[in-house]
């Protein structure tokens, strides 16, 4: 893990994975200000899954999340700020505080970036399934590069698109072994 650094935290009822897309609609002042700061300083912010509470108020959240880089923004027809973000690196929240404006700021330690890991033959059917599903994922994944031979990438994409609970997705995010993640996802697809 890296030495702790400070980032803004965005608690959501969704899990962001490294390399994954996440569109957001921003309407709260604390997050509009966060976006401006991130764009100005070319910084990422952290997405964390809410454990208890709501997205628009105070919330308890999980310690492991993923940093999000803003790749595009626009004004939506309803006047809200629309963002397209991409997941970058997993991190663990060491401590956090809630600022007066309600924004959560955390001291986080980033996990070492996962290196591409060859996909074992036993998990090749999972990559083939993902390949078949890819055209149906629509515009959200249109700009994503495919890495069907990378066990980390295949596991993260399947954890994003399969009908899992947020807690199951969080468990997949927290797993540090790509093969274990694929083994779990295979069991979801082929229950005993």
Q: Are strands 21-26 and 64-75 parallel, antiparallel or unpaired?
A: unpaired
Identify whether 74 is part of a domain. yes
What pLDDT is stored for residue 191 in this prediction? 59
Same domain flag for 28 and 94? yes
What value does the mean pLDDT take over residues 170-184? 96
**Structural domain of residue 138, as residue ranges?**
121-189
Q: CA 25 to CA 33: how far, in whole Å?
A: 14
For the cut 60, the answer to whether the pLDDT of residue 192 exceeds it is no
pLDDT, tens digit, 9 for 90 and up, residues 137-156? 989 998 788 999 999 999 99
Residue 116 lies in a domain: no
Domain count of the chain? Answer: 2
User: pTM, whole model, 2 decimals?
Assistant: 0.92
**H-run or E-run covering 12:** strand 5-12
Residue 190's pLDDT band (cuts 50, 70, 90): confident
Whether 106 and 132 share a structural domain:
no
Which tokens is 127 given? 């990559």
Domain boundary among 110, 136, 161: 110
Residue 43 has pLDDT above 60, yes or no: yes
| Residue where one domain finishes, among candidates 79, 110, 141 | 110
Q: Is residue 130 domain-shared with residue 178, that is, in the same domain?
A: yes
Percent helix, percent strand, percent coil in the chain, to nearest 5? 35, 35, 30
| Cα atoms in the 13 Å half-sphere on the side-chain side of 123 | 25
Q: Locate the DSSP E strands across 21-155.
A: 21-26, 45-53, 59-61, 64-75, 81-98, 104-110
Long-range pairs, 48-55, Cβ under 8 A, ≥24: 48/9, 48/10, 48/11, 48/12, 48/93, 49/11, 49/12, 49/13, 49/14, 49/15, 49/166, 49/167, 49/169, 49/170, 50/11, 50/12, 50/13, 53/11, 55/11, 55/12, 55/13
pLDDT at position 55 is: 81
Whether pLDDT at 167 is above 90: yes
Residues of the chain with pLDDT > 70, as a percent, come to: 97
Residues 176 and 89 in one domain: no
Q: What are phi and psi of 174, to 5 degrees?
A: -75, -20
- Give the pLDDT confidence score for residue 144 in this predicted structure: 85
Task: Reply yes or no on whether the pLDDT at 45 is more than 80.
Answer: yes
pLDDT for 100-130, tens place per residue?
988 999 999 999 988 899 999 999 999 999 9
In a domain, 115, yes or no: no
């Amino acid at each position: 893990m890296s030495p702790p650094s400070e980032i803004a935290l965005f608690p959501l009822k969704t899990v962001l994975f490294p390399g994954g897309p996440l569109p957001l609609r921003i309407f709260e002042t604390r997050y509009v200000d966060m976006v401006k700061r991130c764009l100005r300083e070319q910084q990422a912010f952290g997405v964390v899954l809410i454990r208890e509470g709501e997205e628009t108020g105070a919330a308890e959240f999980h310690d492991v999340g993923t940093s999000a880089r803003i790749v595009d923004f626009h004004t939506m027809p309803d006047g809200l700020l629309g963002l397209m973000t991409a997941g970058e690196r997993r991190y663990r929240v060491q401590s956090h505080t809630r600022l007066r404006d309600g924004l959560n700021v955390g001291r986080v330690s980033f996990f070492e970036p996962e290196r591409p890991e060859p996909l074992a033959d036993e998990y090749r059917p999972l990559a083939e399934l993902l390949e078949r599903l890819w055209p149906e994922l629509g515009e959200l994944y249109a700009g994503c590069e495919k890495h069907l031979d990378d066990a980390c990438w295949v596991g993260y994409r399947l954890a994003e698109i399969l009908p899992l609970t947020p807690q199951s997705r969080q468990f997949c995010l927290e797993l540090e072994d790509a093969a274990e993640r694929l083994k779990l996802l295979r069991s979801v697809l082929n229950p005993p």
